[in-house]
Every structure is written in C-alpha cells, then in structure tokens.
Structure 1
Amino acid sequence: MEGFLFLIILVLLVIILSKNSSHNKDIKSSIEDINEKLNQLKKSLSSPENITARPTVDVKPTPKVEPVIIKPVEQKPIIIEPKPIVADAISKPIAVPKPVHITEPIKPKTPVIPQKSWFETFKEKNPDLEKFIGENLINKIGILILVLGISFFVKYAIDKNWINEYARVGIGILCGSLVMGIAHKLKKNYAAFSSVMVAGAISIFYFTIAIAFHEYQLFNQTVAFIIMVVITAFSVLISVAYNRQELAVLSLIGGFAVPFMVSTGSGNYMVLFTYIAILNIGILAISYFKKWKVVTILSFIFTTLLFFSWVVKELFSNTLPHAGALAFATLFYFIFNITIVLNNLRNKGTFSIIEYGILIANTFFFFGIGLTIIHDWELQIKGVFTLSLALYNLVYAIILYKKFGLDKNSIYLLIGLTLTFVTLTIPIQFKGNYITVFWAAEAVLLFWLSQKSKINGFKYGAIAVQGLSIISLMIDWVQAYDMYNEPSLQLILNPIFITGIVVLTALIATYFIIKKETVNFKVLGFDLDLSLYKNLLLIAAVGIGYLVGILEIIYQSNQYISNQASALSFAITYHFIFSAALVFFGLKNKSNRFKKFVLLLALVNIALYCVIFYRLSSNEMAVNYNLQLTYNYAFLFHYIILACMVYFGICLLNHAKEKPVFGFLQSKVALWLFAMTLVYVFSNEVIIHSLKLAPQLVDVTQLETNYPAKNVNDVYYDDYNRTSFISDEFNDVKRQVIKIGYPILWGILSFIFLIIGIKKQWKQLRIISLSLLGITIVKLFAYDINNVSETGKIIAFILLGVLVLVISFVYQKIKKLVVEEDVDHSKNPDTHV
C-alpha cells in the first residue's frame, strides 16, 4: 500500500513538471517572436532619420524673415505700452493670484481622498480577472484539495488497517516534504504559488506531529513540543528565504498554536510564556527587518488574548501566581513597547494610526492587568506601580527625543501617557484632599512646563488636571463639611480649608503664568482660546475664593455657636464684605460686562437685605430669650452690613451720574426706589434698636413659669409655645414703634430729602419728600391715633407738627429759588433728573 501511495505522488509530480516544461517552451517561443519584432522596428527606424534631415535643409526661409523681424524692432522705442503691461503683469501675480493659489490648493487637500471600496481596490490590483483566477485563486484551491485528498486517502488506509501508526506519521512527514520540495522547485518562476505550497507543507507537518502525539502517543509532550518548535523555526526561516509576509503570518499562527496542540491540560505557565516571549522576539525581529507590520499587529493581539485569558482563568480558580504573572506582563509590555518604537526609528517616519493604537493599547493593558494582579496580591503598591509606569514613559520619551530624534507627535503621546499616570497615581494610592492638592499643583507645573518648553500639548493636560482638581475639591467639601462628621474640623487650620486655599492659589498662579500669552494654538485638531481660558480662570478663582471662606465660616460658626441667627450672621457678613470687595475691584475694570456684573451684584445684595437679612438681629434676640443665651454677634455685625449697603448705594449713585451701563439708574423710578429703600432701612433700624434698648423686653420669669421645658418628647411643643410667647412680646414693642417712631422718622427723612432736593436742584426728590410727608400724615390720622399711649400720641403729634411747619417755612423761604429752577429746567430739561 505504501508503494501505491508513493506511485500516486510520483505521478502527480511528473504531471506538474511536464506542465512546467511545456509552459517554459511557450515562454521561449514568445520571447523569440518579440526579439524578431524588435529587430524589424530597429530597421524601420533607421530610414526615417534621413528623411527628416532633408526637409530641414530645404526649408530655410530665414533671410526672408529677417526684414520682418526688423520692423517690430523699430517700434520697440515706444516704451509706453510695455511699461503698463509689465506693471500689470507684476502687480497681478503679487496681489491677486498668490493668495488665491495659497488658499485654493489647501481647500482641495483638506477633504480626505474618498476611500475606495474593497471591490475597487481589488480591481486595481487585479485588472485581469481571468489572470487572478488562473494564477492566484486556483493554486490555493488546488493545494487545499490536494491536502484534503491526501488526508482522505490516508484516513481510508488507516481505517482499513493498511498502515500502522509509525507508517502513518512517516507518510505525513513524507507528503509534507514532497510538497515542500515541489514548492522550492517552483520558487523562481512561481513565487506566489510556491509560497502557498510551503504553507500547505508546514500545515501538514503541524497536524502530523499533533496526531502522532495525541492519537498515537508515539512520543511524550516534551518531544512533541520540541519538534513543533523546530517546525516553527523552520517555517520562520522559510518565510525569510521566500520573502513572503503570509508565510511569516502562518509561522506566527502555528507558533501560537503549538502549546495548544501539545497541551494535556496541566501545563507549566513558566515554560508556556517563556516560549511565547521567545517566539515574539523572533517574529518581531523578522518584522523589524522586513517591515511586516501585519506580523507585529497579530503578534500583539495573540499575546494579549492568551495572557489575559490565562490571568482570568487563574483568578477565578484562586491559583494565580502573582509574582510570575506580573513579571511576564512586564516582559510582554517591554517587548511590544520597544518594538513599535524601533520600527518607527528604522523607517524614519511618523507613527501610523495602527501603531499609535498598539502603543496605547499595550500601555493600558499592562496598567490594567498589573493593577488587577497587585489588587489580588493584596499589596499596597498600586500608586508606586502607576508612578513607575509614568517615570518609564517620561525617561523613554526623553531618550528617544534627544538620542534618536523621534517625531514630536510620538513624544507628545509618551508625555501624555506620563501625565496620565502621574495624575492617576495620587487617587490610586491616597484618599481625600491629598488628591486635590496634588492635581492643583500638577496643573500649575504643566502650565509652567508648557511655557518653558514651548510644547503646547502640556496646556491641554494642565486644563484637564485643573478641572479635575476643582471637581475633587467640591467632592471634598461635600464629604468634609458634614455637620454629623466626627471628629469636628479644627478652626481654619484644617485639611479641607487648606486644600481650598491651595486650589485657589493654583488658579491665581496659572492666570499669572499665562497672562502675557496672547497667541491661540492648536494641538491634534483642538483649538484653545487663551483669552477665554483666562476669563474662566478669573471666574473660577472668584467662585472658589468665595466658597472656601463661606463654607468654612458656616461650618465653624455652627460648631461653636448654638444661636443659629448669630452663627448665620458670620456667613452673611462675609458675603457682604466679599461682595463689596468685588464691586470695588470690578468698577476699576475697563470691561463693561464686568461693571454690569458688579453693579447687578450690588443691587441684588440690597434687595437681599431688604427682603431676608433685615430680621437677623431681631431673630438673634428672640433665640437668646428662648434659650437663655447672650450672643450679640448679629447685632454688631449688622453695622458692617449697613456699611456695605451704604457703599453699594454710593457706587450706584456715582455710576448714575456718568454714562451708566444700566440706563434704568437715571430714571425717575430708580430715584423713587432708592429713597424708599432708605426709608425702609432706617425704619428697620428704629425697630432693631428699640428692641435692643427696651428694658425687660420679655418677662423671663413668666416665660419659664408658663412654658417650662418638661422632657425631651415635649421639647418641640414647648419650643413652639415659648417662641409664640416671645414673638407676641416683640410685636407689642414693634407696634408702638410703628405708631410713634415711624411718623417722627419719616418726617425727619422727608425734611432731609427736601433740603437735598433744594441744594442739588432735584425736583423729583422734592416731590418724593412731599409724598413721604403726605403718607406720614395720612398714616398718623388713619392708623397711629388708635390704641396708642397718651404720651406717645403727644410726642408724635407735636414733633410731626413742628416738622410740617418747618417744611412749609422752608418752601416759603426758597419759593423764588424753586420758581427760577423750574424755569431753567424748562429751558434745559436734560440738566436735571
């Protein structure tokens, strides 16, 4: 039977060789025909040379042309025509075409050349479909059919017990050798066909040894592994000798398949990954010298999948050898990281998208798998691992840039990886505010490095890190300023307040670092407007500065002061002082937008006081009586708030005299609102000071007798009753003030408005004065006269009457001045409000 099989193989070999010889004869005959045609063409080309020489001798009417040429020479002295022509010709290409030719070729270049479909590229590479099928496709199908036929025959012979185990393996090796020999014979004339046959031969070798090991147990695992390694090495050498990339891919696939072909389910990972590392080094070395990028890509994919699947399997079975796994992960990372860069240095070009992808994927795969191994190992070195990866990329970038001149985009990538891992180091290793402090400092450092090194890519990293620092600070605030946290934070010198100051300082430092930079720039297709970022930095600095102070004050005041109104007064006073400072610096700014903002802030603060914060002092007094406390902070601080209110009012008045950004400030309504606000604030001050100075405002003995605090369960009920009792006592005092104090105060304010209106010649203010006086008189007779003490009634009526008479006397005294003013105002209506 073996002889019969050998005979069939010989017949096939003879047929192939006979076809080869006949094909060679056809080629020789065609070459002879081409030579004959070339000789004929040479003979035909020799005769026309004489013919072309004759017409050149005959046709020489040069003497006739000379007199014709002399005529335009006589006209050349008229230089008037060429001068404008030359000027136009010079001016046109300089002014018009140059910018047009610069912009127009750029526009068609920007759109990327449309990618051709798979079928179009296939047609370009193989314009003759018949040739592709006959020379390329059929040989692959033929070798596949041949391999299948041989395998079917061998299987049939084995099923009939014609061939024993050793003979079967020998036949397989013999068939592979014959196919390899035929491929080598056809290598010179049929390179593509011979490479396909080599692939088939190597496949036969692999499957033969695998069957001999698994099915027949002709040799042990070690021998089978060594034989397959030899086959892999042989296939690699063949791929280099044939200079065929597809053979290298086959060698790579076969090399990675070897461990699975000889696997028995209980392998040694040290042997496995040592073999994979050696295989990668060999294959990648060939890829380096032959410039076969596909081999590099496949090698990375196969290695990553194999190692990842092994780590996952060992993790689930709780048998992961941590030290060995981390060592091999590091080894594979260095192999591919160095190989990708070496390929780029050898080719002296820029990285392709695929190479960038492999470099990034390799780095982050190693980072992820390394953290996984360290976490399962329960070692507290995650931050050290991350930082070491950052340092490696930094040193790697410096060496490649200075020693080998690697292109800048690749250096930017390595520096970007460095910054990424440096940024991740602190949150991985530490917790809390350390992360925020580190990111804030890193952002400033990156901006400084960008300015010194002129590498604009640093700025994008700095902006990202600065954003992370602000977000991290907000998270710290939420976690730290919780009233229920134990232990409580130390006053001012606590980690959270210091962290806020560091972030604020980083924002201010960043602003001054980039303050003088005005040129915008683009990196990797992204534009950065520096002027916009400077404004954002100022806004962020103001916001962070405000929040750092007010959050600390709210937290600490509630920790140390039991009266909520007193504690709140600290934060409100800080708010008004901060707002006043912001208005002060904002009005010095030349930007109208900023002036609008600070003036609007002043108006909002005045409205907030009139609507909400006016009752702060009275609330403090009520809580003091309720809880038997003696706090006086809100009452004292309200003078500071009033000072800020006065400053806001002065700023608004001064701005109204100029060209205001708000036209509303010069209207009559604004003056009315301003005057009414003054009346409201002074009226509230009368109530506050009346409550503060009233002797025995609340009868504490009666309060404790009627509403004692019984037990914890009744505390809310008792607190409500006590608060109601105190509120009633306060309201009695307020009613007396409203009926007696308000008429006197409003009369005085009316008189002051009148005097100012006369001196400043503000007719509208005098009208406000008379209106306020009229409201006071109506209120006095309609409301104040009822249920008021005789003493208060007498005082109010006498004082108000005196004020009314004084006002009337003043009007009579200055009647002439008022009339003259009205005449002037009618002539120049725009000179007065």
Structure 2
Amino acid sequence: MDNSEKLNLLLVKLENLLLRQQGFEAEIKALRDEIKAMQSPGTAPIHSQTVNHPVIAPPPRNTPPSVAAQNSAIPKPISGTFPPNTNPPQPNFSDRFKRENMVKSDFEKFIGENLISKIGILILIIGVAIGAKYAIDHEMISPLTRIVLGYAMGAGLMAFAIKLKAKYDNFSAVLVSGAIAIMYFITYAAYDFYSLIPQALAFGLMVVFTSFTVVAAIKYNKQVIAHIGLVGAYAVPFLLSDGSGKVGVLFTYMAIINIGILILSFKKYWKPLFYASFSLTWIIFLSWRLDLSSDNHFFGLSILFSALFFIIFYITNLAYKISKKEIFGLSDVVIILLNSFIYYGIGYFILSENKNSVELLGLFTLVNAVIHFIVSLIIYKKELADRNLFYLILAMVITFITMAVPVQLNGGWVTIFWTVEAAILFYLGRVKLIAIYEKLSFPLIFLAFFSLLQDWTTYYDVYFGSEVITPILNVGFLTAVIFIASFIWMFSISKKETEKSAEWIWMRQILSYSIPSILLLVIYVTFRLEISKHFNNLFELTKINTNPGAKSSYVDFQYNYNYEQLKTAWIYIYTLFFASALTYLNIKKLKNGELAVTSLVINLIIVVAFLTHGLYNLSELRDAYLFHENKYFNISSFNIGIRYLSLAFFALLIVQCYKLMKSGLLKRNFKTMFDYLLYLSILWIISSELINILELAELDGSYKLGLSILWGVYSLFLISKGLAKNKKHLRIGAMVLFGITLIKLFVYDIAYLSTISKTIVFVSLGILLLIISFLYNKYKHLIIDDVEVKN
C-alpha cells in the first residue's frame, strides 16, 4: 500500500469518528433534557429527539478496493453503543480540549467560590482588629462604643450569613466563622482591656460562642467554621494584648476553645482542626513557660493548665475513635505519645525548677502512669476500642512506671525493676503474642544492662573510696542474681518457637544473640567482682599506721600488697574454670554450634592471657615469697601452692578444648590448630616451671642453660611424635623450635655462659641433632609414604 492509499484510509476513519461524535453529542443533549424535566416537576416533559446514528461515509473517489474493503469492515454503532468485543473509539482533540477546559473551570471554581471567600474573611477580621487597635490607641471612640460596634458588626455578619445559607452554603459557612471570631475578639477586649463586663459574664459569653460554633460546624458540616471560629480565636490575646501578663485569663480562654473542639470530636473526625489546636496550644504554653526559667511565681498556674490541656487533648484524641469503635492509626498513636510526653516534660521541668517540689518528681511520674492505667482499664472493661489501643495505653503505663523508678530510686533497685519489667514484657510479647510488649521489652533489656554496668562502675568508685563491702551479702550481688535469673528465663522463652511470626524480624535476630551474650557476660563479671571484693577487703584490713604518734600530714600507712597479686591469681583460676564449665555445658546440654565457636574464641583468648600475664603474676607471687622484706606482714608458702592449682585448671581448659574439637559442634576441622595450641602450651608451661624450680633452688643463673637444653629435648620429642603419628606439622614445628634454640644459643647464651656451661649446651644440642638426623633416616619411608598418599 502506497502513501496515497494510506492517506485515503485515514481520511475515511476521521470522517467516521466525527460522525460518531455528533451522534454522542445528540444523545448527551437528550439525556440532559430528560434530567432537567425530572428535576423541575410540573413542567411539560421534553421529549428527546430521535438520534440519528452516524452513517459510514462512503470511500472517496478513486479509492482502491483494499481501502474500500477496510472501510466496509469498520463496525457500525447500534443505538449509541459499540459492538461487543470492540474498543470504543479514542477521543479526538476536541474532547481533550473540553476536558482541559473542564479541569481549568473546576480549579477556577475552587478559587472563586471557596478559597477567595476564606481569604476574604480572614483579611476582614484582621482589618477589623487593626482598625480597633488604631481606634483604641488614638482614643477616637469610647471603650463602650467600641464594644457595642464590635458586637453589632459580628451580629450583622451572622444575620447576613444565615440569610445566605439556603442558596450559598459554602459562602455562608465562611461568614459564620468570621462572625464567631469577631464575637470572641470583642468579648475578650471588653473584659481584659476595659473591664466593662465581669469575669463570669465574659467566660459565660465565650461558652455561648463556643457552643454556637460547635452547633454551627455540625449543622453546616464544615470544618472551616471550626477552623476560623475556634482555632482563629487563638489570635485574640496576641492581637489585642496590652502586655499586662494576665496568663490565667489567656489559658482559661484557650481551654474554653479546646473544650469546644473536644465536643466536636465526638461528632466529627476533623483531624486538621485537632492538629491545629494541639500545636498552637502547646507552642503558646511552652513559649511562655520556658521564658520564665526558674521563676516560681506561676508554679501553681503552670501545673494546673498543663494538666488541663493534657486531659482535654487526651480525651479529644480518643473521643471519636472510641465512639465509633474504629481502629487507631499511626497518626493517632503519635498524637497520644506526643501529648503524654510533652505534658510529662513540662511537668518535670516545672517541678525540678522549684526546690520545694524536687522530691515530688517520682510521684509525678507515677501519677502519669496511674492516669494511663485508669484510661486503659476503662477501655478494657467497657470494650470501647480495639485491643491495640488498650495495649498501647497499657504500654504507656509501663513506660511511666519504668521512668518513675530511676527518678525516685537509685542504684541497684533501678536495675532490678527494669530487669524484671523487661522479662515480664518479653514473656507477654513472645508467649501471649502481644507484639507491642515484645517491642517495649527490646529497649528495656539494654536499658537494664546499661544500668547494671553503671552499678558496677559505682562499685569501683566505692572501692577507691576504701569502703569495705561484704562479698555475696550486698545489694550489688542481689541485683546481679535477679538480673541473671530474669535473663535465663528470657533465654528459655526465646528458644521456643512461636506460632505468630515477628513484625520486626531484625529485632528478634538481635535478641537471639544479645540475650545469651549479655547473660554470659553478667554471670562471669558478677562472680569475678565478688572475688575482687573479698581480696579488696583483705587488703583494706591489713592497713597499718607505722607512725601512730605523728600528725595527720605525716601519717604513713602500710598495706600487704601480696593480696593484690593473690586476687589476680584467683581471678585467673575462676576464669579458667568458667571457660571450662561453659564449654562442658555446651557439649553435654546445649549443643549449640554458634556457642561452640564463641567458646573456642574465648578459650583461645584465656589461654594466651594465662600463658603471658597469668604465669608472670605467679612468678611475682614466688618472688614475693622468696624475697619478702616487709617486717609488718608474713607471706606464706601458699604463694607457691597456688601456682599448681592454677596449672590444674589450665589443664582442665585444654582438655575441654580437645573435647569441643571432638564433639562435632564445630563445622571445620581444628585438629592441626589444637596440636599447635597443646604443644605450645606444654612448652610454655614446662619452661616456666623450669625457671620456677631453678629460682626455688636458688640457681637463678642456670635458667639460660636449662632452657636451651629443654627446648632441644622438646624438639626431639616433637619430631618423634610427628614421625610416630605421621604429623608433618609437628615435625616442622620441631624444626622451627630447634632453629630458635640455636639462634638463642649463638646470639644470647654464649655471651653469658661459662666454659663448662657452653660445653654442656653444645654437646647436648649436638647429640640431639644427631638423634634427630638418625630418626629421619630410619623412618624416612614413613615420610615418603605420607607424601605419596597425599599425592
């Protein structure tokens, strides 16, 4: 098909679409006439004209047969409809133009009929206020005349609005709201500035205006009346203020406005109105109260109106939802939380700034919890709303009780309370499937842990203050025991599968690791601290004044510092036992792979710490026993005996590491690593023991010779073991050790050894080297076979 044929076909389609459009327009006109006739009863009905359906235009002359055939295939509409299984024709440019004009017309209508009227009434109110202010400042008319004219203008505007309601509902609503705002202005001015009416009458009129506003807003079903009439009335004190500082009048006035919004909330759910009132009230109150700083002149007024605003907004936020039994959304929850914590923050600030009321902070926090508890109880008993609201407000009760404890109490009691509360919330959340309680337990678990850390810090402060604390029988230990019991309970709960999946999966994943980790850390540190307390007490009890007759500035105290080193040794024994017990418990009972990896890492750290610092501390104890020169204290042979007790527990830990490797809990094979750990530990221990024996035998200069020979013999032992067990890594390790021994011999030992010692060392190492070479030659087939098997 060439271009001319395509052009002809398109022209035919265009003519057919235009004809269809004419048919549709005729049908639309007929329908509109019938609707108008039905809307105006008593008039003669308008009979719609018969709509001539569009006729398919014949193809233009010289139209090729193919184009004509396509034209004849276009379906004909029947009775203004389209044939089945066919798509309606696409609108042409004329339809699009009409729609765009309609959108523009709607926008223009919104501006002309709605927006301009609201802007106009606001400008009118501002203009009246400015004019009134000018007239007042220049004393153009008497105060009574000003008030009368103001009421007259408001009443006239109200009458005009009521008259227009039947035909111009929206415009009438705007005028009503403006009239109400003017009435507020005038009443406030008549009472506050001119004292023309008494306080009772002023607030009686405001109650009347507020009641009328509520009725008008409901009658018109327009938020604009409430917005301009009530929220707009907040501007009254600021536009007409004379700086007199009558805050009691201002806050009473605001309370009346908010009560009107509260009444509205039982009938209408107008969120913007509530948000505006909520924001303006707290902003005005906070701006005033924070500006007072520590001024106690308005103490009672601040407490009274902050509580009043809090209660009004609390009930307002619940009113409509409870009356309609609707589910609370996120915005409702946010408002409840904001209102509660703004009020609590203001109250806390007011009480803390007054030195006579600081002791009431805990009681004030508890009162907040009681208020929320009463609300939750009413909702629960009356079944006023969905259970999520009940759980939310009950969570607020728990939150404020949680806050009341540190405010009123201190030390370990705070930790105990938070720990038990976290455990109970975790139980309710995980077992009773109340999701919000599990979420609340999440921060409390860490809060309790950090509180316990703070308690431990306090213990060290007390220790440095030289105060004696009885081990086990103290509040710190009781706190830790309750903490441990609560976390054991939570750990057992967390291991059980729940039917309901978590809303916050990441939270459960964190807790699954955090709870056992915190539990292990707290168990270890708790008993370690009690050991420290025992030896710290012993250390304090050895305090001796060596110059009792001297003045206080010349007093010289002596302590038995041996207890410091004994404390370190016992802490190492306890640490070795704790790591061994944890590994054993996991192997026999828990069988947890992740804990197995954790235990392996912990065990390695403890082994390294003991071989380095632990053995050094034991050598310090030996030296304290051997070279003790303090005439005031005696050092017993237990300084030597504790060494072998420590080595026994170290051996126990090594055995548990071996059992852990054999248990199958570790996914990887750590056999080679364990061999290095075992034989390196043996070498380190026997080297330390050799030095210890030589020191006790007062052969302190012989340890260089002894270590060289010992390391050579140990290298021979490792090579023999490597050949017997066919372990290449042991043989390589032995060669490395022998190399280190030779380097030590030539670089370090020769300079300090006598001729006889040098002879002994060289002969001994030479013999050892020959033995090693002999063993390699004798058992070389084992090494070769091993290589072939691996290949």
Alignment of 1:343-382 (within 5 A): 343-375=320-352, 376=354, 377-382=356-361
Question: Which residue does the alignment assign to 1:734?
Answer: 700
Question: Which residue does the alignment assign to 1:639?
Answer: 644
Shift of 1:170: 4.6
Q: Does 1:585 align with 2:563?
A: no
Q: Does 1:616 align with 2:620?
A: no
Shift of 1:463: 1.9
Question: Which residue does the alignment assign to 2:315?
Answer: 338
1:79-130 Cα deviation digits (max 9, x unpaired): xxxxxxxxxxxxxxxxxxxxxxxxxxxxxxxxxxxxxxxxxxx999984344
Question: Which residue does the alignment assign to 1:90?
Answer: none
Question: Which residue does the alignment assign to 1:450?
Answer: 429
**What is the rounded CA distance, in whole Å, between the counterparts of 2:656 and 2:119 in structure 1?**
92
- Which one of the candidate residues 688, 695, 707 is aligned to 2:692? 688
Change (3 A) 1:280 1:818: same
Shift of 1:423: 1.8
Question: Which residue does the alignment assign to 2:409?
Answer: 430
Where do 5+ consecutive residues of structure 1 fail to align? 1-29, 49-121, 698-732
Alignment of 1:116-131 (within 5 A): 127-131=105-109
1:651-708 Cα deviation digits (max 9, x unpaired): 56677789886656438xx75775454344223212213323x3xx5xxxxxxxxxxx
Q: Is the 8 A contact 1:228 1:258 kept in 2?
A: no
Change (3 A) 1:228 1:450: closer
Question: Which residue does the alignment assign to 2:173?
Answer: 195
**What is the rounded CA distance, in whole Å, between the counterparts of 1:611 and 1:171 in structure 2?**
96
Shift of 1:735: 1.7
**What is the rounded CA distance, in whole Å, between the counterparts of 2:735 and 2:228 in structure 1?**
104
**What is the rounded CA distance, in whole Å, between the counterparts of 2:391 and 2:476 in structure 1?**
35
Q: Which moved more, 1:126-135 or 1:631-640?
A: 126-135
**What is the rounded CA distance, in whole Å, between the counterparts of 2:497 and 2:424 in structure 1?**
16
Question: Which residue does the alignment assign to 2:396?
Answer: 417
Shift of 1:543: 1.9
Question: Which residue does the alignment assign to 1:439?
Answer: 418
**What is the rounded CA distance, in whole Å, between the counterparts of 2:139 and 2:615 in structure 1?**
109
Question: Which residue does the alignment assign to 2:525?
Answer: 547
Change (3 A) 1:146 1:439: closer
Q: Is the 8 A contact 1:401 1:407 kept in 2?
A: no
Where do 5+ consecutive residues of structure 2 fail to align? 1-34, 54-99, 540-560
Give the residue type in structure 1 aligned to 2:615.
Answer: Y
Give the residue type in structure 1 aligned to 2:351.
Answer: I
Shift of 1:174: 3.8
1:419-459 Cα deviation digits (max 9, x unpaired): 22122121111112221121111111112222443202211
**What is the rounded CA distance, in whole Å, between the counterparts of 1:154 and 1:830 in structure 2?**
110
Residue 359 of structure 2 aligns to a residue in which SS?
Answer: coil
Change (3 A) 1:617 1:679: same
Q: Is the 8 A contact 2:528 2:571 kept in 1?
A: yes
- Which one of the candidate residues 488, 495, 501 is aligned to 1:508? 488
Give the residue type in structure 2 aligned to 1:446.
Answer: L
Shift of 1:252: 1.6
Q: Is the 8 A contact 1:232 1:255 kept in 2?
A: no
Q: Is the 8 A contact 2:596 2:660 kept in 1?
A: no
Shift of 1:294: 3.5
**What is the rounded CA distance, in whole Å, between the counterparts of 1:263 and 1:155 in structure 2?**
10
1:470-525 Cα deviation digits (max 9, x unpaired): 111112222221342242322232222332333222222210122212567343xx
Shift of 1:303: 3.5
Question: Which residue does the alignment assign to 1:284?
Answer: 262
% same residue: 30
Question: Which residue does the alignment assign to 1:488?
Answer: 468
Change (3 A) 1:537 1:753: same
Alignment of 1:669-708 (within 5 A): 674-675=678-679, 677-692=681-696, 694=697
**What is the rounded CA distance, in whole Å, between the counterparts of 1:613 and 1:607 in structure 2?**
9
Q: Is the 8 A contact 1:520 1:530 kept in 2?
A: no
**What is the rounded CA distance, in whole Å, between the counterparts of 1:665 and 1:221 in structure 2?**
92
Q: Is the 8 A contact 2:158 2:176 kept in 1?
A: yes
Alignment of 1:735-750 (within 5 A): 735-739=701-705
Question: Which residue does the alignment assign to 1:499?
Answer: 479
Shift of 1:363: 0.9
Q: Does 1:318 align with 2:296?
A: yes
Q: Is the 8 A contact 2:579 2:653 kept in 1?
A: no
Question: Which residue does the alignment assign to 1:87?
Answer: none
Change (3 A) 1:344 1:632: farther
Corresponding pairs, count: 679
- Which one of the candidate residues 459, 464, 472 is aligned to 2:451? 472
Could you tell me the TM-score, scaled by structure 1's length? Answer: 0.67
RMSD between aligned residues: 5.2
Shift of 1:253: 3.8
Q: Does 1:303 align with 2:269?
A: no
Shift of 1:533: 2.7
Alignment of 1:510-529 (within 5 A): 510-517=490-497, 521-523=501-503, 526-528=504-506
Shift of 1:330: 2.9
**What is the rounded CA distance, in whole Å, between the counterparts of 1:652 and 1:426 in structure 2?**
45
Change (3 A) 1:449 1:736: same
Change (3 A) 1:775 1:410: closer
Question: Which residue does the alignment assign to 2:155?
Answer: 177
Q: Is the 8 A contact 2:231 2:257 kept in 1?
A: no
Change (3 A) 1:243 1:552: same
Shift of 1:356: 2.7
Give the residue type in structure 2 aligned to 1:356.
Answer: V
**What is the rounded CA distance, in whole Å, between the counterparts of 2:749 and 2:141 in structure 1?**
128
Q: Does 1:576 align with 2:576?
A: yes
Give the residue type in structure 1 aligned to 2:599.
Answer: V
Residue 571 of structure 2 aligns to a residue in which SS?
Answer: helix
Give the residue type in structure 2 aligned to 1:385.
Answer: F
**What is the rounded CA distance, in whole Å, between the counterparts of 2:439 and 2:257 in structure 1?**
40
Shift of 1:341: 1.4
Shift of 1:390: 2.1
Q: Which moved more, 1:632-641 or 1:432-441?
A: 632-641
Residue 487 of structure 1 aligns to a residue in which SS?
Answer: coil
Shift of 1:766: 8.5
Shift of 1:539: 2.1
Give the residue type in structure 2 aligned to 1:644.
Answer: F
**What is the rounded CA distance, in whole Å, between the counterparts of 2:134 and 2:351 in structure 1?**
55
1:560-587 Cα deviation digits (max 9, x unpaired): 2422333321222222222222333345
Q: Which moved more, 1:778-787 or 1:579-588?
A: 778-787
Q: Does 1:566 align with 2:532?
A: no
Change (3 A) 1:173 1:774: closer
Alignment of 1:22-101 (within 5 A): 42=47
Give the residue type in structure 2 aligned to 1:681.
Answer: I
Give the residue type in structure 2 aligned to 1:682.
Answer: I
Q: Which moved more, 1:658-667 or 1:295-304?
A: 658-667
**What is the rounded CA distance, in whole Å, between the counterparts of 2:758 and 2:140 in structure 1?**
137
Change (3 A) 1:764 1:426: closer
Residue 505 of structure 2 aligns to a residue in which SS?
Answer: strand
Q: Is the 8 A contact 2:624 2:635 kept in 1?
A: no
Q: Which moved more, 1:388-397 or 1:262-271?
A: 262-271
Shift of 1:630: 0.6
* Structure whose alpha-carbon radius of gyration is higher: 1
